[in-house]
Amino acid sequence: MPWFKFVTTISRPWEDASWTGETRRVDDLVRKYADLWGLRPETTTAYLCGHPSMCENGQGILKRAGWQKGSMFEEVYFIPGKEAGAE
């Protein structure tokens, strides 16, 4: 689909010396690409998937830029467990 845009990133580039893509946290990339691509809440649907904190931060960034709940979707891939010794 020509309208679909997908960006991959890693936050620890030192762990993969062969990586040539983006090397920042997703939060920073949401800001960067929303501006770079001229994304507008009226015409764009955001789909965030990954760590719950990343999804929450990304939605906060988009909400401040005008996105509404129906234009943002998430899929959480990591559920934080109990911390060791917290029992």
Domain range for 39 is 22-76
pLDDT confidence of residue 78:
73
pLDDT confidence of residue 11:
86
Q: Is residue 26 part of a domain?
A: yes
| Structure-model confidence comparison of residues 67 and 1, the more confident one | 67
17's CB contacts (< 8 A; 6+ apart) are: none
Examine the pLDDT at 86 and tell me if it is beyond 60.
Answer: no
Examine the pLDDT at 87 and tell me if it is beyond 80.
Answer: no
Q: How many domains does the chain have?
A: 1
Task: Specify whether the CB–CB gap between 41 and 71 falls below 8 A.
Answer: yes
pLDDT in tens, 13-71: 999 999 999 998 888 898 899 999 999 999 988 988 888 888 899 999 999 999 998 89
pLDDT confidence of residue 2:
84
CB-neighbour burial class of residue 4 (10 A; exposed 0-12, middle 13-18, buried 19+): exposed
Q: Is residue 57 part of a domain?
A: yes
pLDDT confidence of residue 60:
94
pLDDT confidence of residue 83:
54
The identity of residue 35, as a single letter, is D
Other C-beta atoms closer than 10 Å to the C-beta of 9 total 14
pLDDT confidence of residue 20:
93
